[in-house]
Amino acid sequence: MLSSLYNCSTRLLRPVFDRMLQKRLTRGKEDKARLSERRGKPGLPRPSGKLVWIHGASVGESLSALPLIERILGADPYCHVLLTTGTVTSARLMEQRLPARAIHQYIPLDHPDWVESFLRHWQPDAVIWLESDFWPNMLREIRSLKIPAVLINARMSERSFSRWRWLGAGMLRDILSSFDFCLAQNEFEQKRLQAFGHKQVYISDNLKYAANPLPVNKETAQALKDGIGDRPVWQYISTHPGEEEIAFTLHQKLKADIPDLLTVIVPRHPNRGEEIAGLALTQGLNLSRRSQDMPITPESDIYLADTMGELGVFSATVPLVVMGGSFVPHGGHNPVEPAQFGCMIIYGPYMFNFKTICADFEAVNAALPVEDEQALADTLTKLLQNPAQMEPYRAAALKLTQDKSGAIETLWSYLYPWLEPDQSVDTGADRKAGSTS
């Protein structure tokens, strides 16, 4: 009943959707040249032949999908992949990193007319949904059209689990019924999905471990190293509003003991560069902006990396990393990316979107969780004054990601029989491993 009510309500809310898109556009969260895609009007023709559609919400999901896209295309030279996301940042990254025969589009907002327009144009032969970015009208229409679909790398936070049980268990059950089977990140996620009635839920390695290391321009990395010199340096990556202020406060506190300290900030959304620079100015900090080709000088307190697609450069250059989104209740970001470069990783109490990965890291002392900003200040002071203490963590982080880099193989053992049902191998539905059904 809730699904039908949602469908009817969203059909009536088209003016609200339009206003929301315009508001997001003014805030830099939509691409004006491609805004029609958000209304279900594709910007590219459908390629001929088989088309596999993969959907991930944002940057993290789209990056983790790259090895899967390569595997799909490698298995079928006539297949194409459509990747959808919902953020400008992810779209720009995918422009740089998608292989041939893979295309990016924005996912339309969940208005029934826009959903129908999108599916009528693309007519995907199979759908692979990443993690938990559920769009009820879209998934309902996929089921109605009998398009094969699976949910992979599935996760559901405790908060989401409680909310769905309280507000809409039937609606989530309806959403999940669109998937032939689900691949959960761990046993806890598996049980939560099964609690909403899905019988085919299996456990697979986290796809984020399968991603290749982020690209690094060696000349850029060397220039950055030269600019830093022998100054003690730490970086706060993928920051969100509120975390830059934390970084500024920490910098001023740490400078009492480390006068030549350099703090690097890599915001999750580079278009916030002007805002962040203004905040630094109000606190009397000397800030150099990468987007404006400002060099690091001896007077620079903060180096603001407000550019796109250069996180690999900074991970390869600055080994002491604090994860953004973990000191504000955002849920954190993916520690696998800096770990692949052997970084020393610290994060705060809000890493709930990466509970499984954090458990993996903490089990082998590959990352250091801290409780609050004071604990972070104490930890950074200790490590900056004695860098040798970072080495065991750095080695453990690198080894962990290397050991788990074959995660795509487990995932592919489920997906390949599903994508190629004529192959004489067991299907994921036939497996017993990881299933309690």
Q: To the nearest whole percent, how much of the chain has pLDDT over 90?
A: 82
Hey, is 160 helix, strand or coil? helix
Q: What is the pLDDT of residues 309-364, one digit of tens each?
A: 999 999 999 999 999 999 999 999 999 999 999 999 999 999 998 988 999 999 99
Its domain, for residue 385, covers: 218-403
Which of the four pLDDT bands, split at 50, 70 and 90, describes residue 2?
A: confident
In this prediction, residue 172 carries a pLDDT of 85
If asked whether residues 233 and 137 sit together in one domain, one would say no
15: Cβ contacts below 8 Å, ≥ 6 apart: none
- Cα gap 51→122, rounded to integer Å: 8
Q: In this structure, are 13 and 110 located in the same domain?
A: yes
For residue 17, tell me if it sits in a domain: yes
Tell me how far apart the alpha carbons of residues 280 and 252 are, in angstroms, rounded to a whole number.
11
Whichever domain contains 260, its CATH number is: 3.40.50.2000
Q: Does the pLDDT value for residue 415 go beyond 70?
A: yes
Instruction: Rounding to the nearest 10 degrees, give the CA dihedral for residues 274, 352, 326, 337.
Output: -80
Same domain, 335 and 423: no
Q: What is the pLDDT of residues 161-206, one digit of tens each?
A: 677 776 667 888 888 999 999 999 888 889 888 988 898 999 998 9
Q: What CATH number corresponds to the domain at position 48?
A: 3.40.50.11720
Angle between helix 158-167 and helix 169-176 axes, rounded to 10 deg:
110
- For residue 436, being part of any structural domain is answered with no
Q: What is the pLDDT of residue 422?
A: 61
Return the percentage of the chain with pLDDT > 70, whole number. Answer: 94
Residue 264 falls inside a structural domain: yes
Q: Are residues 170 and 275 in the same domain?
A: no
Confidence of residue 425 (pLDDT cuts 50, 70, 90): very low
pLDDT score recorded for residue 157: 66
270 Cβ contact partners less than 8 Å away, ≥ 6 residues apart? 89, 291, 306, 307, 308
Q: Please check whether residue 139 lies inside any domain of the structure.
A: yes
User: Same structural domain for residues 315 and 340?
Assistant: yes
Report the catalytic residues.
61
Do 335 and 411 lie in a common domain?
A: no
> What is the pLDDT of the chain when averaged over all its residues?
92
What pLDDT score was predicted for residue 281? Answer: 95
3-state SS assignment for residue 51:
strand
User: Domain check: are 385 and 308 in the same one?
Assistant: yes
In a domain, residue 437? The reply is: no
Q: Does residue 435 sit within a domain?
A: no
Please give the tally of structural domains in the chain.
Answer: 2
CB neighbour list of residue 357: distance below 8 Å, 6 or more residues apart: 206, 208, 334, 335, 336
